[in-house]
Structure 1
Amino acid sequence: MLLNKKISVWYFIREIKFQILFIAIFAVAIGLLDMLPWFQKISLPLNIPALLGTAVSLLLAFRTSQSYERWWEARTVWGAIVNDSRTLVRLIIQFMPEGKNQTIKDFAERQIIWTYALGESLRKLPFSTKVKQYLDQHNVSAVNIPNALLDEHSRQIREITASKELTDFQQMQLNDIITRLCDSMGKCERLKNTVFPRSYSVLVHILIYVFAAILPFGLDDSLLAVEIMITFLIPVAFVAIEKTSIIMQDPFENGPVDTPMTSLAQTIEINIRQMIGDQNVPLKKENTSYYEM
């Protein structure tokens, strides 16, 4: 997630450098073509490229709006995960009888690992050492590790209820939290696996280049450099807006505009360890970069 301080302009330029190069070549070629005697006779009313530019703007506005909605939904879901993780451990602490510190610690450790494992699986990264050590120690293996950890939550709740250490009402409350965590996980997986239609990007790119192709024929031919510059700058602005929406549309792509799942998992770990009275509470390092993961 981008932080409200310095932002790397070079990161964004690197993302669209090939499009900038292509548009520059395209603008020079169209500008020189417009200077040929036969093409100089062609003059289009400026309303025509203006109308096409308006259409491109509307399409880009829709694309950016949809991408932002996906990004914001991901952040909202992870906000719910933070709250439900705290609530789960708080209820476990409240419901467990005296002397059940190990049971409380089991739930707390599992929930901490669940948050890290969910973030890493959404980014399709290898599990971190912290997660691997826990999985090996507790013999957890499954195709969907976060779901398997929630299954372990449910199994242990069922065992505790069977031993009469939890009432049916308390079990229902805890199961409700587990259900909400599972719903949040499913929403994240839906966002990750639902791809924005590629045909939409193709249509936008075609319209941008058609706009760049006809724009010089609606401008004054007396100043070639100005004509080329305008033909270059406006399509670059359109491409930059479209690239911004593409970057935002997948909030779990392991990039600077990601939902900061690792940072949120660290916050959850710190909160949970403080709640259970753990003496080994990790410190959250201050981020010196322009984004956090």
Structure 2
Amino acid sequence: MLLKKNIPLKYVLGKIKFEILLVAVYTLVIVVLHDRFNLKHMAIPLSVPMIMGTVISLLLAFRSNQAYDRWWEARTVWGGIVNDSRSFARQVLSFVDETSYDSEEVSHFRERMIRRQIAWCYSLSQSLRGLDGKEGLERYISKREVSQVSRYANVPMALLELHARDLNYALKQGWVNEYQQVALDQMLTRFSDGMGKCERIKNTVFPATYSLYIHFALNFFILLLPFALIEYFGLVEVPLVVAIAASFLLIEKMAIHLQDPFDNKPTDTPMTAISRTIERDLKQMLNDHQLPETTVNNEQTFYIM
């Protein structure tokens, strides 16, 4: 996720540097041909690209809104994961009373469940980005559990299954009653629902034909623009056309990046940072003072992942 400050101009213009270079060369060629050969018939009425520009602006605005809705839905889902993870840890700690049973075994059970929940958050974020969902799990769960989940294609689902097995074991041991077991199982269902919503967003492709039509219309608008301005500005139209084209191209690029919130880019939903926040909160609930490091360096970093 891009931060409010310190976004370098190099990053912004780097998204369209090749397109801008082509526009500048193309416009310069049009200007040179017009001036050298006095080709007045090359000019077209300014109203033609103005009408196209208005239509394209509306289409880009609609597409940007749709792309932002996808990004915001992803962020909302992960906001729910934060709340549910905290509630899950609180329930595990409050429902399972280590003073009434074998304190060592119960304490191990509580810690295992909460640390596995931290592992689930990291694993889900890695899986959604197309990375290895097992990477780094050994910091939170045992080698035996890492080996078990490695057999699954969907590692986060496997971790939830381990949650369910431990929960059934706790019920048989009498550490939780039936009502508490149902409440905890409902939390697992909420985690599964959140994972499914994220997978739906990732696997639902933004309509390709819609994007393609807008892209073609935008390119045609940029191609016409130098011919409409050549009678008024001469050589000055090169930076003017570049500036206008850059405005439209940046909006298009913004929509393209926002429409895929799990694509491992600076514009992504900050799942790693959110998972680190969950880790911090849950470890503090366990009285574990080995907290994760902060992720943002205000002097150098302009985004968080």
User: Aligned partners of 1:144, 1:27: CA distance in 2, in Å?
Assistant: 51
TM-aligned CA deviation for residue 177 of structure 1: 0.7
What TM-score do the two structures reach when normalised by structure 2?
Answer: 0.88
TM-aligned CA deviation for residue 130 of structure 1: 2.7
Per the alignment, residue 11 of structure 2 pairs with: 11
Per the alignment, residue 68 of structure 1 pairs with: 68
Paired residues of 1:256 and 1:291 also in contact (CA < 8 A):
yes
Among 194, 202, 206, the residue aligned to 2:216: 206
1:84-95 → structure 2 map (5 Å cutoff): 84-95=84-95
User: Aligned partners of 1:218, 1:260: CA distance in 2, in Å?
Assistant: 43
In structure 2, what residue type is equivalent to 1:292? Answer: I
CA gap of 1:286–1:107, structure 2 versus 1, over 3 A, is same
In structure 2, what residue type is equivalent to 1:268? Answer: I
User: Aligned partners of 1:11, 1:280: CA distance in 2, in Å?
Assistant: 35
In the alignment, does 2:126 pair up with 1:116? no
SS at match of 1:290: coil
In the alignment, does 2:260 pair up with 1:250? yes
1:1-59 deviation digits (Å, cap 9, x = unpaired): 11222112212222211111222222223334555768513553322211100011011
User: Structure 1 residues 281-290 or 105-114, which shifts more?
Assistant: 281-290
In structure 1, what residue type is equivalent to 2:259? Answer: Q
Paired residues of 1:96 and 1:104 also in contact (CA < 8 A):
yes
What TM-score do the two structures reach when normalised by structure 1?
Answer: 0.91
In the alignment, does 2:161 pair up with 1:147? no
In structure 1, what residue type is equivalent to 2:250? Answer: A
Paired residues of 2:133 and 2:155 also in contact (CA < 8 A):
no
Per the alignment, residue 225 of structure 2 pairs with: 215
SS at match of 2:81: helix
TM-aligned CA deviation for residue 222 of structure 1: 5.7
Per the alignment, residue 144 of structure 2 pairs with: 137
Paired residues of 2:84 and 2:191 also in contact (CA < 8 A):
yes
How many residues are treated as equivalent by the alignment? 293
User: Structure 1 residues 188-197 or 124-133, which shifts more?
Assistant: 124-133
User: Aligned partners of 1:27, 1:202: CA distance in 2, in Å?
Assistant: 24
Gaps of 5+ in 1: none
User: Aligned partners of 1:274, 1:268: CA distance in 2, in Å?
Assistant: 10
Gaps of 5+ in 2: none
User: Aligned partners of 2:186, 2:262: CA distance in 1, in Å?
Assistant: 26
- Give me the CA root mean square deviation: 2.2
In structure 2, what residue type is equivalent to 1:290? Answer: F
Paired residues of 1:30 and 1:213 also in contact (CA < 8 A):
no
